[in-house]
Amino acid sequence: MTDRMFARLRPDELDELAEASYRRRRREDLARTFSSTRNPAPAPRRPLFLLATGAVAAVAAGAVVVSTGVLSGAPAGDTPPVAASSTPGSTTGGTGASPATRIDARSFLLAAAATALREPAATGDYWYVRQRTTHPTSHLPEEFWTEARKLQLQEQAEVDRTGAEDDELVAINEKYNKKLENLRKSIQPDGPPYRAYIVESEERWRPKRLGGTHRVKSSDHEVVFPSPQDEAKWKEEGSPKLAEDKPKSVDDNLPRPLSIPNMDITMQNVGDLPTSKKALAGRLRAQFAKLPDPHKEFDLYLWQTTVDLMTAPTTPGTRAAIFRILADQPGITSHGEVEDATGRAGVGLAVESDDGYEFQLVVDEDTAELLEYSVAEKGEDTVRVTFEEFGWTDKLGRRPQR
Amino acid sequence: MDDPEERFTLLYDRYYRNVLGYVLLRVDQGVAEDVCSETFLVAWRRLDELPEQVLPWLLGVARNKLAKQRDVRYRREDLVERIAKLTSEQEHVAWDVAEHVVDREQAISALRALPEKDVEAMILATWYGLTPGQAATVMGCSARAFNVRLHRARKRLDSRLRQEMGAARRPMRQTRGHFAEES
């Protein structure tokens, strides 16, 4: 999960600068290169990639042992399928459904598998996704950052002095975390003075062809306050800027994975994923075993993978297989009928992590498409992503024709 | 496709931006462009011996070029400071869907506590999607050493983030579904 956060840290400016350099230097570089001589005598080729196989084995060996029987590929009996049902008292969505009419997760997922299979397979040059994200934001005053930077420099110096021994580093980290925490408390003793959320839209074109252009366009950055009091408090604090409001479009041609926990799944091979429950489950289980995250939980991995694959150009067969795998998970519960952020009706499915976070999916009952996912802590949203549209298109920058 | 000039042009068009992006994490744009040109010149000279996976190879050449420079212009900057510099100040929300909400500033501050080679390992694995074998080629170490580094980097970053998050966690008193009401 740390990887996903880290992936988002990549500065967009890198792509802008790289594109500018590429345009400026291409002609000159090519001309200069072609006027220089090539080395005609082939030197012995170094076996550069023979190490890869051993490396994977090393990761697997170092990983936490995963209990079997979690996934559907395991013999039936260990995981009573009846467990995949709704939890009492979780009929959110305001339908007031009685227990008798409440939709249970397993039946719904099996029906969704059948629906997914009916949807036609399509193809194109770019896979388009438009999504709307809502997440909390906050602002710490400049005095915090000035002090925090000082602490960070001190910490860096201490790390440099001590070397890179694991135990020492952890101890230094902890010491400075404590200092940062105290600093924060000294500036905002009761936590942030107001709550605010950013709502933003993102459109993404993923090229089917390796080396094709990938585009991310973000727009409509809007700050939303949950109550007038929050907004008043924000104004009282001098209305600090909370969101980057200029629209942004970034092109690049990096070979990016479609799914951070499944690095080997790409735009080129996502259409070849297994279409049977058993084969797909086996593949996912093997992948989970390889993940180096010390805090990994299978339910969360599966949830994350579902989000990634349901919003990618997987085949109807693979989508059906995902639903069947989910149907066998005892940890997945149903919230019954719910609405997504844009008011569309769907069925809410949830899984809870060990540290009390709830991960929800909203699936369209008629098309088995993923409408939304969200992460909540104690029933309160921390992030909500709504998929407004996805599909194939033949042109970069163009939306799919429906 | 046998024409060397055509082959090289394809290579250049496909990977120039990737290689430059990587070099930009160390030096300013003007210097980065020079390093990048030299890197592709090496590729031209060895066009017939290039490995199948050419991007890691190109990154490795660029990395060596950077390391061997004695010129003061080429002095490498701290990796995390470069990331921070390239990141615009206001763009402060980076979140992790399956985890917690994290400010970009907080995340970068967590990175500062990692040894530089650990950060580099994370970059090659997550920004470039390289396999351990490929990334080891770039960093000039064994795949085993790379894996140890990556594993340690993730562990440290994870614990660091958890602690930062604990410090940042804010009480939110809204009930489920308030996003729907706002829209």
Interface pTM, i.e. ipTM: 0.78
Residue B112: which of A11, A49, A152 has the nearest Cβ? A152
Q: Return the residue matching tokens 């019954």.
A: A336
Residue A156 forms contact with B (CB below 8 Å):
yes
Q: Tell me the pLDDT of chain B averaged across its residues.
A: 75
pLDDT at A159: 67
HSE-up of residue A357 (Cα within 13 Å, Cβ side): 19
pLDDT at A25: 87
Torsion sign (Cα): B10, B11, B12, B18:
positive
SS3 letters across A38-66: CCCCCCCCCCCCCCHHHHHHHHHHHCCCC
What ranges make up the beta strands (E) of chain B? Answer: 93-95, 101-103
- Rounded CA gap, B61 and B29, in Å? 18
Contacts of B39 in chain A (CB under 8 A): none
Whole-prediction pTM: 0.58
Residues 6+ apart with CB under 8 A from B133: A48, A49, A50, A51, A52, A53, A55, B143
Instruction: Mark A216-243 as b/e (b = at least 16 C-beta within 10 Å).
Output: bbbeebebbbbeeebbebbeeeeeeebb
Q: Are A270 and A309 in contact (CB under 8 A)?
A: yes
* Domain range summary for chain B, segments of one domain joined by +: 4-74, 79-168
pLDDT at A72: 30
pLDDT at A68: 26
Token pair of A280 as six digits: 């797909």
Instruction: Select the CATH number that applies to the domain covering B4-74 from these four: 3.40.50.12780, 1.25.40.340, 1.10.1740.10, 2.40.40.20.
Output: 1.10.1740.10
Distances (CA, A) of A232 to A193, A195, A227: 10, 11, 9
Residue A170 forms contact with B (CB below 8 Å):
yes
Residue B94: which of A5, A24, A338 has the nearest Cβ? A5
How many other C-beta atoms can be found within 10 angstroms of the C-beta atom of residue B16?
24
**CATH 3.30.1280.10 holds for B79-168:** no
pLDDT at A357: 80
Asked if B96 and A385 come within 8 Å (Cβ–Cβ), the reply is: no
**Partners of residue A14 on adjacent β-strands:** none
3 state DSSP class of A98: coil
Asked if A341 and B104 come within 8 Å (Cβ–Cβ), the reply is: no
Q: Are A333 and A90 in contact (CB under 8 A)?
A: yes
* Mean pLDDT (whole number) for B3-20: 88
Nearest-Cα distance to chain A for B133, in Å, is 4
Model confidence at B75, pLDDT cuts 50, 70, 90, reads: low
Token pair of B85 as six digits: 């510099």
Please give the distance of CA B1 from its chain centroid, rounded to a whole number: 32
Instruction: Establish, for the pair of chains A and B, how many residue pairs have beta carbons separated by less than 8 Å.
Output: 314
Q: Return the residue matching tokens 């109550």.
A: A227
Domains B4-74 and B79-168 in one fold: no
- Rounded CA gap, B133 and B146, in Å? 8
pLDDT at A389: 92
pLDDT at A362: 95
Model confidence at B2, pLDDT cuts 50, 70, 90, reads: low
Residue B170 has pLDDT above 50, yes or no: no
Torsion sign (Cα): B25, B31, B34, B38:
negative
Contacts of A197 in chain B (CB under 8 A): 179, 182
pLDDT (tens, 9 = 90+) of chain A, 402 residues, equals 677 778 778 887 888 888 888 888 888 888 888 877 665 433 333 222 222 222 222 233 332 222 222 233 333 333 333 333 333 333 333 333 444 344 688 888 988 998 888 888 888 899 999 999 887 777 777 787 778 778 877 876 776 676 555 566 667 777 877 787 788 888 888 878 888 888 888 899 999 988 788 898 888 788 888 889 989 998 988 888 877 666 778 787 766 678 777 877 889 899 999 999 999 999 999 988 887 666 678 888 898 899 999 999 999 999 999 999 999 988 888 998 999 988 899 999 998 877 778 889 999 998 999 999 988 877 777 788 999 999 999 999 999 986
pLDDT at B106: 73
pLDDT at A82: 31
Asked if A300 and B183 come within 8 Å (Cβ–Cβ), the reply is: no
* Domain range summary for chain A, segments of one domain joined by +: 81-137+201-393, 142-187
pLDDT at B108: 79
